[in-house]
Amino acid sequence: MHEFDIIHRYFNVEQTAAEVLLGVGDDAALLQLPPSERLVVSTDAFVQNVHFFANASAENVGHKALAVNLSDMAAMGARPVAFTLALGMPEVDETWIAGFSKGLLALADRHGCALMGGDTTRSPVVMATVTVLGALPKDTPALLRSGAQVGDAMWVTGAAHAGLGDARLFLEAEQGAVQLPEAVYAHARQRMERPAPRVAMGQALRGVASAALDISDGALADVQHILKASGKKTGVALGAEINASAVLNGAFASDATRAFWRTLPEQQRLHWQLNAGDDYELLFTAAPEKEAQVQAAAQQAGLVARKLGVITASGVTELRYDGGRTERWNRHDTGGFAHF
Ligand code: ADP
Ligand code: MG
């Protein structure tokens, strides 16, 4: 099948976004945002054997290639508008492309985010690089990493079916480090391969959260980005106190994994739940008096907000246990996933 036929058949979708004046088919796309909004841009590469396993279904690869980008829009508080797709494959496998396109476009539809163009090429492994454009009202501050203050509460999003460390369990199982009961494995795999970007929550947090990002490297590793960016801005060496007992009590676990976590040693549970790549939950801070607004935003988005801890002026990240014992977290023992 020729490149143009692939594009025509699988990626030449009806444009629904009002902002896209010209989509797939010309040398470039044309967009027009309302004058009341600013443009927000993000890009994420999604490469076989680096970001996903070769045995992931085509539909799930399509879903996640866009999901991780929508998650970045959510973390900025932006409304996703449209995206481009650079797709590389070793060969043309039409069944695979059909599945990929189905997963990609179903998620795009759900968020009203239009595929407006891209590139299709041969490459040694499957890769899908998405660039997403979003919009943010001019009179609303974006959710940056740099707005956290001493005393702010730290929150993560979740749901009954979505907890910290779900995807980490899948990774560990694939590497043979743990054996999961079948239902736990199925859940962990679903959470790894089909993350749900918290787009509505991100927008609901505008004006409520003081700082935000999406968890892609593990909660504790990602907290460091907020501490660093916000510390630089405030001139204070910021730290974090993490409610370790709440983690051990299962407060951050999904219903499907909670009982299984309890079968693991405590240190391993803490490590895997707090240093899990691929959670794609929002991690955000908010002034303590905004707690009711945080809960209202979560409810509006069909999620829950779980309190992970508090921002301190200590310059370090500490795990705090009920009874007052604290333990310093060291990124080098247990740090998040780093590519190089
Ligand atoms: P050019 O070589 O001039 O850049 P292409 O042949 O790469 O043109 O692309 C032709 C049209 O198809 C362009 O409008 C481009 O945006 C679109 N396109 C190519 N690949 C994809 C894809 N994977 N998804 C969506 N649109 C695509
Ligand atoms: Mg091209």
pLDDT of residue 333: 57
Residue-wise pLDDT tens digits, 19-73: 999 999 999 999 999 999 999 999 999 999 999 999 999 999 999 999 999 999 9
Mean pLDDT over 213-228 rounds to 96
DSSP per-residue letters across 133-177: EEEEETTS----SS---TT-EEEEEEBTTB-TTHHHHHHHHHTTS
Rounded mean pLDDT, 62-91: 98
User: Does residue 117 have its Cβ closer than 6 Å to ligand 1?
Assistant: yes
Q: Which atom of ligand 1 is nearest to the CA of 26?
A: 14
State the average pLDDT for the chain: 94
For residues 122-135, give the mean pLDDT: 97
Q: Is 329 exposed, middle or buried (0-12, 13-18, 19+ CB in 10 A)?
A: buried
Per-residue pLDDT, 332: 61
Quick: pLDDT tens for 92-123.
999 999 999 999 999 999 999 999 999 999 99
What is the best residue among 2, 4, 6, 7 to mutate for testing ligand 1's pocket, by most ligand atoms within 8 Å of CB?
Answer: 7
Q: Which pTM was predicted?
A: 0.95
Atom of ligand 1 nearest to the CA of 120: 20
13 pLDDT more than 90: no
Residues with CB under 5 A from ligand 2 (ion): 119
Q: Which atom of ligand 1 is nearest to the CA of 25?
A: 14
Q: Is the CB of 2 under 6 A from ligand 1?
A: no
Closest Cα to atom 19 of ligand 1: 119
